Amino acid sequence: MPEVHYKITLCDGTSCIRKQSKQIHQILDQELRKRNLKEVVSVHLSGCLGMCAKGPILIINPGYVMYGNITEADIPEIVESHLVHDTPVARLMVEENHLYNRFFRIFGDVDFFGKQMRITLRNCGIIDPENIDDYLSVRGYEALAKVLTDMKPEQVVSEVKKSGLRGRGGAGFPTGMKWEFTAKQPAGEKYVICNADEGDPGAFMDRSAIEGDPHTVLEGMIIGGYAVGSSRGVVYIRAEYPLAIKRLEKAIAAAREHGFLGQNILGSNFSFDIEIRLGAGAFVCGEETALIHSIEGSRGMPRPRPPFPAVSGLFGRPTLINNVETWANIPVIILDGGEWFSGIGTQGSKGTKVFALAGKVRNTGLVEVPMGTTLREIVFDIGGGIPNGRKFKAVQTGGPSGGCLPEPYLDTPIDYESLAKAGSIMGSGGMIVIDEDSCMVNIARFFIEFTQSESCGKCAPCREGTRRMLEILTRITEGKGCPEDIDKLERLGAMIKKSSLCGLGQSAPNPILSTIKNFREEYEEHVNQKKCRAGVCAAMLSYTINDNCVGCGACKRACPVNAIDGTRKEKHHIDPNKCIKCGQCYSVCKFSAVAKA
């Protein structure tokens, strides 16, 4: 098979589509066929490349030549001149210097990456995170230099406001506004905190960002400190991330050595230093006020707000807290401009979001896409769909605080408002794909078990209420549910949401309420018919041996309670009274002779 000599990437973002990129694709196809180049030239569609002003965009590799503002008429010339005669068409080429684009140049030909837009993760996988020179070579700390030499603190705040960036930790509060509140507080001791206590099970965005590109977070924080008038930064990072901690420590030391941290940074009047504080295994410490109490050396328990951290936070001082991902966006906003940033995404949700795609999906990993990308695109286009021929059942977003969205919601665009309207939340970016082999009731139980074990115990609705919800769900999955149970779950859930002290309690009922809303039949089956259609809730399953059995005896040997009877070469039989439903026989049978129902 002949080698592919050229790879063409066509931007398939909304803007470019409107500008006829689809027609361009068609013409391109025709031209390649005409010249017999189809075998040596591959054509790919990418996600929005963020260069909408110059669209439609066409990129040819190797060489990373970018053509912009092209029309259908330009295609024959491009194919002839560039592909046949190896001569790029100079008049159609455009220069494009956005920070994040370097990743695309290197990995854009890989489908999984080509469909993403990596702003936050722009350097991950490209630079050596333990070498500050690598970071400097990709314009590292240039944003800081620009801020310190050319911008007043108010201008920095204004740029962040212009960008429309919203907090990436989950709450989605407008970042610029938060910076403005903190900056407005009287001058004096103020703090800047990076919340790296990523505790959502299934989320690893912040870990990867810090492990892959710690300096961008530091740079963001230093700029933040300048903007709000703080000289002290703290990164609160969970102790379960030893590599991230090590890389952060190294980065801080290197930054100090190079004069990016410490007194009179880059010769200015501005001084800033950063300290690392470790968490110790408490999910609730991801909540702002609990995090503050943890840094103060106390139990990580939240407190009522107001007062908000911007007014009275760490040690009672004005404090700016932002998530890792939020900080990582700051250097980009400064260098590429808040206006450019606000051109990406939707009306209410600007920029990109990193999702940790995991679960029953072919391609798992970190996916960074512009806001507005649909769930379908992420799960099927980028994620590659459900493996093993199974059917899609639901996608869970927002971790244990979020909801489960079934098939009808796949075209929901990812943004704060749309996801909330659909009954879930953006959260910190966890996205778990669920197929038909998962039981929604069990999944709801799994999430409430997590939040219950992480409840700090301060307020009664969360401490007691989530335990009662867990008990009800456990009973239901054990086949002991009663009809009132679903109503009780809804009643408790609604009360816990509205009465709890902090976000953990307020969002703990979400998985339960959303699964009841979207999968009520499954609940009713569990409760009324004692049936689990996904075959997961062991107590309601029965294992039987069917006619496929050849009598090999593997199941009999595997059974821990000797519940299987049978002679060699004859159909075996499971005694339902002894069976403990461990599923060992099911997993060892090579003949699909054990049926679960």
Q: Which is nearer to other proteins, 147 or 358 (CB)?
A: 358
DSSP alpha helix (H) spans, 39-174:
74-78, 101-107, 111-114, 132-137, 142-150, 153-163
Q: Considering the complex, what minimum distance in angstroms separates the CB of residue 355 from other proteins?
A: 12
Let me know how long the chain is. Answer: 597
Q: Which is nearer to other proteins, 78 or 489 (CB)?
A: 489
Q: Considering the complex, what minimum distance in angstroms separates the CB of residue 521 from other proteins?
A: 21
Q: Considering the complex, what minimum distance in angstroms separates the CB of residue 512 from other proteins?
A: 14
Q: Considering the complex, what minimum distance in angstroms separates the CB of residue 258 from other proteins?
A: 24
Q: Which is nearer to other proteins, 255 or 459 (CB)?
A: 459
* Side chain identity at residue 423, one-letter code: G
Q: Which is nearer to other proteins, 75 or 295 (CB)?
A: 295
Question: Residue 573: enclosing H or E segment and its boundaries?
Answer: strand 573-574
Q: Which is nearer to other proteins, 21 or 507 (CB)?
A: 507
Enter the tokens of residue 534.
């996904």
Cα distance between residue 344 and residue 358, in whole Å: 25
- Number of helices (H) and strands (E) in the chain: give both, helices first: 26, 17
| CA angle 143–144–145, rounded 5-degree value | 90
Q: Considering the complex, what minimum distance in angstroms separates the CB of residue 533 from other proteins?
A: 17
In SS3 terms, 273-322 reads as EEEEEECCCCHHHHCHHHHHHHHCCCCCCCCCCCCCCCCCCHHHCCEEEE
Cα distance between residue 161 and residue 178, in whole Å: 9
Q: Considering the complex, what minimum distance in angstroms separates the CB of residue 568 from other proteins?
A: 24
Q: Considering the complex, what minimum distance in angstroms separates the CB of residue 329 from other proteins?
A: 21
CB 261 within 8 A of CB 255: yes
Q: Considering the complex, what minimum distance in angstroms separates the CB of residue 511 from other proteins?
A: 10
Q: Which is nearer to other proteins, 225 or 503 (CB)?
A: 503
Q: Which is nearer to other proteins, 229 or 399 (CB)?
A: 399
* Side chain identity at residue 119, one-letter code: I
Q: Hey, which residues does 9 pair with through a beta bridge? A: 44, 59
Q: Which is nearer to other proteins, 253 or 495 (CB)?
A: 495
Enter the tokens of residue 494.
């609604």
Nearest Cα residue to 486 out of 470, 471, 472, 465:
472
